[in-house]
Amino acid sequence: MSLSFIIYLVINTLVVLAIAPLFVSIIKKVKAWTQGRQGPSLFQTYFNLAKLVKKETIYSAHSSWIMRITPLVSIAAILVAALFVPLVFVPEPVGGIGNIILLLYLLALAKFFMALAGLDAGSSFGGMGSSREMSISAIIEPTTIIVFAALAFVFKTLNVFTMFSASVASGTTSTPTLILLAISLFIILIVETSRIPVDNPETHLELTMIHEGMILEQSGPNLALMELSSAVKLTLLMALLINLIVPFGLSTTLTLGALVLAIVLFALKGTILAGIIGLFESSMAKMRFFRLPSLFAMAFFFSTLIIIIEVFA
C-alpha cells in the first residue's frame, strides 16, 4: 500500500464526514425555499449531530445487543463504503477496494443491521419500517444490480477507481449512454437514501415512514451515528453520480493545488446536485407503496438499454 493511498484514505474520509451534513442541510434548505419558508441554517445538521452526541443514550428494556452494535456497524460499513468512492482524488486502486459489488454489499450490510435494530426494540413502528425497507430493498435489488452492471459495461471494469479515472481521462459529459446512466443512478440515489417519492425523510409522524421508523428507538450518540451514516451514504451516492457524469476537476495527482481545487469543485457540484434533489423532492408527491416498481422500472429500462447499446453497437 503506497503512501498516496494512505493519504487518500485519510482525505476521503475527512472530506466525506465534513461535507455530508452540509448536503443534507442544502436539500432541506431548497425544499424549504420551494415551500416559501426560510428553512434551517446550513449548519443545522452539524448542530443537531453535536447536540445528539452530548445527550444520554437510552435503550429500551426489551432491546438486545443488536440495538447496541447497530450504530457502530452501520457507520463502519458506510465509512468503508465511502472509501470505495473517491470524492476528490483518485489513486491507483489497491486490492478489493473500489469493487462495485463489494460496495453494494457494504451498503446492504448497513441496511440489514438497521432493519434488525428496527425490529429489535419491539415497537410497532420499527417493525413496520423494517418490513417496508426490506420489501423495497428486495424490489430495487435487481434494478441496482442492472444499473451497476450497465456501469461496468460502459467502463469495462468493476472498479470504481478505474471508472473514475476513465471518465476523467475522456472528459466527455454528454454521451447518450451517460445521460441514461445518470437518470438510472439518480433513481437509485433517491430510493437508497429514502427520499420522496419513496419515503419522506422529514417526518416521524407518518404511518408510511420507512427510514425514520427504523431509527425511532435510537437516541443520543447512537442516533447521531445513524444520522451521520445516512448522510454519508447520500454523499457517496452523489459522488458516484457526480464523478461519473461531470468528472472535470477530479484530481488524479496528489498535489495540494489540485486537491483544493477538487474539493471546492466537488462541494460546488454537490451543492448543485443537492439543489436538484431538493427540487425533485418538492415537485413530487409521495408514491403509494405499490406504485414504486414503476419508478424502479424506469431505471431498469434505461440500464438495460445501455447494456443493449454497449453489447450490440
DSSP 3-state assignment of 189? helix
Stretch that binds another protein, among 11-19, 193-201, 218-226, 294-302 (CB under 8 A): 294-302
Alpha carbon distance 49, 225 (integer Å): 8
280 binding another protein? (CB under 8 A): no
276 binding another protein? (CB under 8 A): no
**Nearer of residues 95 and 171 to another protein, judged by Cβ:** 171
DSSP 3-state assignment of 99? strand
CB of 291 to another protein, least distance (A): 9
**Nearer of residues 258 and 284 to another protein, judged by Cβ:** 284
CB of 293 to another protein, least distance (A): 5
* Bridge partners, 251 (sequence order): 89
Which residues make Cβ contacts (< 8 Å) with residue 195, sequence separation at least 6? 189, 201, 277, 281
CB of 181 to another protein, least distance (A): 10
CB of 198 to another protein, least distance (A): 15
Which residues make Cβ contacts (< 8 Å) with residue 124, sequence separation at least 6? none
127 binding another protein? (CB under 8 A): no
- Mark 144-183 with x for binding to another protein (rule: CB under 8 A) and - for no binding: ------------------------------xxxx-xx--x
Report CA 209 to chain centroid distance, whole Å.
18
* Bridge partners, 89 (sequence order): 251
Residue 201: cis peptide before it, omega within 30 degrees of 0: no
CB of 306 to another protein, least distance (A): 10
84 binding another protein? (CB under 8 A): no
Q: How many CA atoms lie within 13 A of 308 on its CB side?
A: 7
Q: Which of 1, 14, 264, 297 binds another protein (CB under 8 A)?
A: 297
298 binding another protein? (CB under 8 A): yes
In Å, what is the CA distance from 178 to each residue of 171, 181, 200, 273, 294? 12, 5, 28, 16, 21
305 binding another protein? (CB under 8 A): yes
- Residues lying near another protein in the complex (CB under 8 A): 174-177, 179-180, 183, 293-294, 297-298, 300-302, 304-305, 308, 312-313
